[in-house]
A and B are shown apart, each in its own frame.
Chain A
Amino acid sequence: MAPQTPAVVMDNGTGYTKLGFAGNDSPSFVFPTAIATKGPAAGAGGSGSGRPAVGQKPSFLTGGAGPGGHLSAKRGTEDLDFFIGDEALGAAAGPGYGLHYPIRHGQIENWDQMERFWSNSIFKYLRVEPEDHYFLLTEPPLNPPENRENTAEIMFESFNCAGLYIAVQAVLALAASWTSSKVQDRSLTGTVIDSGEGVTHVIPVAEGYVIGSSIKSIPIAGRDITYFVQSLLRDRGEPDSSLKTAERIKEEFCYVCPDIVKEFARFDREADDRFKHYEVQQPGGRSVTVDVGYERFLAPEIFFNPEIYSSDFLTPLPTIVDTVIQTSPIDVRRGLYKNIVLSGGSTLYKDFGRRLQRDIRHLVDARIKASEARAGNQAKSGGLDVQVITHRRQRHGPWFGGSLLGQTPEFRSYCHTKAEYDEIGPSIVRRFALLGGPGST
């Protein structure tokens, strides 16, 4: 076994999977976490309802393991007839294949499909021999230990990989922020704001450990911004208001403004500069021009003023972040305020970090002032440093953090090896030594 092979870093998210090798700058592959198998699509349900063709075999063929058992026991040739990623989307568009998303809300729901997804990831995309590589996988915060064990079983028994480390995404996102010049001490204490397509999480991390009781999630993320852009386009009667157009406008034109009234006035004054046009190629070969206006700054505004978009969720993101930190243990709060790290595609808007920092600082300063007044202005506070870290690796933050930590010389000593797994069994992965913790880098 070659000792110098780079570790494989796999970050499987609800929406997208990021694959690559430790030490690299960006993932080698990014594709949807989707699998297309023979048979009908898995309706809207989760794991149970949409079992693939495999599950219809009589039970004696599954080796008595039941429908939840491992695929290795019941693998026939038809099991090899599947696609993952973008190919899966293509195959599902045609007849005969159904599309499935094995991960929901960050957690693996269908292990059969996930195993096949991984096998294709390793053999067809990365084209590596798992025996020769250590693997770094990611998990969401509060992932049950049983899920880790299942993962280890598949990784060691089906793929026979050399070693395995499972890291929490939020911790890796913190590590990814070390590339920013604003970060001086490479600590693993900070608040991670992870906003993807489906949901936004605010996760406090103290010295590499997630403070599970204080995590908050917000039902506003990339998809909602897209819908909001779409509704603004429709209000105006633009010639094309498909979701795809809305998404492209969101990605290309949107930014965060300091104040929406001033921004409206600015659009009045600098109309030529601010209003943009977006050319859409429609299926028939026609192309239409969509005007892009106020949605440029209104769309990301729903993080800071959810009221303008939703009627049932009204708490702004800065307030949520403040609450999360205030409910964390008192001795880490200073560190959490000082290191607020952004991660995920929906945090990429220009000036997102700046606005967030300003709003959180206002909240904190107001509270300090109030408490000083209550103390009769006798005691002065030294102030509290609020800092939001914007960095260049935000988009694939957890993957990049994994790549960073996976290339360190000590990485392998933190992994559990195949030999250790054979000795102790799946329960070994319930605990991992903290990678990148104090004294390791």
Chain B
Amino acid sequence: MPAYHSVFLDEPNQQIIGNFALLPLRTKTRGPAQQLQQLTDTTELDIEPSHTAYDPLDEILSLFRANTFFRNFEIKGPADRVLIYGILFVSEALSKIRPGMSRRDAEKNVMNVALDNNFAIPGDAAFPLNQAFEPPRDRNEAEVLRQYIMQMRQELAARLLNRVYADGSGQPSKWWLSFQKRKFMGKQL
């Protein structure tokens, strides 16, 4: 059984830039992503994939721990690229949290990364996975893609912090921090 794939691979009517899918997100940050409704009947910690508001970011966080053990990953479609990018970003965000750091400090560090406008998107020379990701066709598309990824980054960072600080002790979970050194597909952002 190889690494886990995205459940959104078969999602109809995907908006695609390059070969990266712009799937609907459940977020309040502004951007090009189609908005899903906020959760009312369940929490983001135990949402099921069958829920209508389940978004790729939920999936990224639930697959992150399992998939980081794998070095090989066969990309089966645009939704898998969202998954890859998300997992690599979670790795990066996680590496900014130190053991024993308070939630406030961790939030500052992680949000710094998430809000930094200077990140590489597919097609940029600094992007690590250019063999697998196609560049956007023009400047317009590139700008939309950048904004979408920006939305992903911010929302992911917020949800990651919720998970790492889930136990209410004010300390980051050592179980999450133990994944800091693992590299999904041997890559990092």
Residues of A bordering B, CB below 8 Å: 232, 235-237, 260-261, 264-265, 267-269, 271, 275, 291, 293-294, 298, 304-305, 307-308, 311, 314, 316, 359
Chain B residue numbers with a CB within 8 Å of A269 are 45-46
How many B residues face the partner with a CB closer than 8 A? 25
B103 within 8 A of A: no
The distance in angstroms between the C-alpha atoms of A275 and B175, with both chains bound, is 10
The distance in angstroms between the C-alpha atoms of A389 and B182, with both chains bound, is 36
Q: Do the beta carbons of B71 and A264 come within 8 Å of each other?
A: no
The distance in angstroms between the C-alpha atoms of A308 and B182, with both chains bound, is 11
Our pick among B4, B62, B182 for the contact of A265 (Cβ within 8 Å) is B62
Q: Do the beta carbons of A305 and B178 come within 8 Å of each other?
A: no
Chain B residue numbers with a CB within 8 Å of A304 are 1
Q: Do the beta carbons of B66 and A261 come within 8 Å of each other?
A: yes
* Sample (6) of A-B pairs whose CB atoms are under 8 Å apart: A235-B182, A236-B178, A260-B66, A261-B4, A267-B175, A307-B72
If A235-B178, A269-B46, A291-B174 touch, whether A307 touches B66 (CB-CB below 8 Å) is no
Q: Do the beta carbons of A294 and B1 come within 8 Å of each other?
A: no
Interface secondary structure of B, over-half rule: loop
The distance in angstroms between the C-alpha atoms of A237 and B65, with both chains bound, is 17
Q: Do the beta carbons of A271 and B71 come within 8 Å of each other?
A: no
Our pick among B3, B63, B70, B175 for the contact of A293 (Cβ within 8 Å) is B175
The distance in angstroms between the C-alpha atoms of A359 and B2, with both chains bound, is 13
Q: Do the beta carbons of A264 and B66 come within 8 Å of each other?
A: yes
The distance in angstroms between the C-alpha atoms of A305 and B67, with both chains bound, is 11
B69 within 8 A of A: yes
Q: Do the beta carbons of A236 and B1 come within 8 Å of each other?
A: no
How far in angstroms is the closest Cβ of chain A from B172? 12
B187 within 8 A of A: no
Q: Do the beta carbons of B62 and A307 come within 8 Å of each other?
A: no
Q: Do the beta carbons of A265 and B72 come within 8 Å of each other?
A: no
Chain A residue numbers with a CB within 8 Å of B181 are 235
The distance in angstroms between the C-alpha atoms of A264 and B64, with both chains bound, is 10
Q: Do the beta carbons of B71 and A311 come within 8 Å of each other?
A: yes
Q: Do the beta carbons of B69 and A307 come within 8 Å of each other?
A: yes
How far in angstroms is the closest Cβ of chain B from A232? 7
Our pick among B45, B71, B99, B167 for the contact of A307 (Cβ within 8 Å) is B71
The distance in angstroms between the C-alpha atoms of A311 and B71, with both chains bound, is 8
Chain A residue numbers with a CB within 8 Å of B4 are 261
Q: Do the beta carbons of B66 and A232 come within 8 Å of each other?
A: no
Chain B residue numbers with a CB within 8 Å of A267 are 175
If A236-B178, A264-B62, A304-B1 touch, whether A271 touches B69 (CB-CB below 8 Å) is no
How far in angstroms is the closest Cβ of chain B from A337? 20
If A305-B1, A311-B71 touch, whether A236 touches B65 (CB-CB below 8 Å) is no
- Most chain B beta-carbon contacts within 10 A, residue among A232, A261, A305: A261
The distance in angstroms between the C-alpha atoms of A261 and B46, with both chains bound, is 13
Which B residues from 129 to 183 make CB contacts under 8 A with A? 163, 166-167, 174-175, 177-179, 181-182
- Most chain A beta-carbon contacts within 10 A, residue among B69, B71, B181: B69
Q: Do the beta carbons of A359 and B62 come within 8 Å of each other?
A: no
How far in angstroms is the closest Cβ of chain A from B3? 8
Q: Do the beta carbons of A232 and B69 come within 8 Å of each other?
A: no
How far in angstroms is the closest Cβ of chain B from A57? 54
Q: Do the beta carbons of A294 and B65 come within 8 Å of each other?
A: yes
Our pick among B63, B163, B167, B175 for the contact of A294 (Cβ within 8 Å) is B175
Top 10 A-B pairs ranked by shortest CB distance?
A: A308-B69, A236-B178, A235-B178, A260-B66, A261-B66, A264-B65, A293-B175, A307-B70, A236-B174, A305-B1
The distance in angstroms between the C-alpha atoms of A267 and B174, with both chains bound, is 13
Closest B residue by C-beta to A269: B46
The distance in angstroms between the C-alpha atoms of A267 and B178, with both chains bound, is 15
Closest B residue by C-beta to A233: B178
Closest B residue by C-beta to A316: B1
The distance in angstroms between the C-alpha atoms of A396 and B182, with both chains bound, is 37
Chain B residue numbers with a CB within 8 Å of A232 are 178
The distance in angstroms between the C-alpha atoms of A314 and B72, with both chains bound, is 10
Interface string of B2-19 (1 = CB under 8 A from A): 111000000000000000
The distance in angstroms between the C-alpha atoms of A316 and B182, with both chains bound, is 21
The distance in angstroms between the C-alpha atoms of A260 and B70, with both chains bound, is 13
Closest B residue by C-beta to A309: B69
The distance in angstroms between the C-alpha atoms of A345 and B164, with both chains bound, is 36
Chain A residue numbers with a CB within 8 Å of B163 are 268
If A268-B45, A268-B166, A271-B167 touch, whether A261 touches B62 (CB-CB below 8 Å) is yes
Closest B residue by C-beta to A295: B178
Chain B residue numbers with a CB within 8 Å of A260 are 66
The distance in angstroms between the C-alpha atoms of A72 and B182, with both chains bound, is 57
Chain A residue numbers with a CB within 8 Å of B46 are 265, 268-269
Chain B residue numbers with a CB within 8 Å of A305 are 1-2, 69-70
Chain B residue numbers with a CB within 8 Å of A316 are 1
Closest A residue by C-beta to B186: A311
Chain B residue numbers with a CB within 8 Å of A236 are 174-175, 177-178
Closest A residue by C-beta to B166: A268
The distance in angstroms between the C-alpha atoms of A298 and B46, with both chains bound, is 21
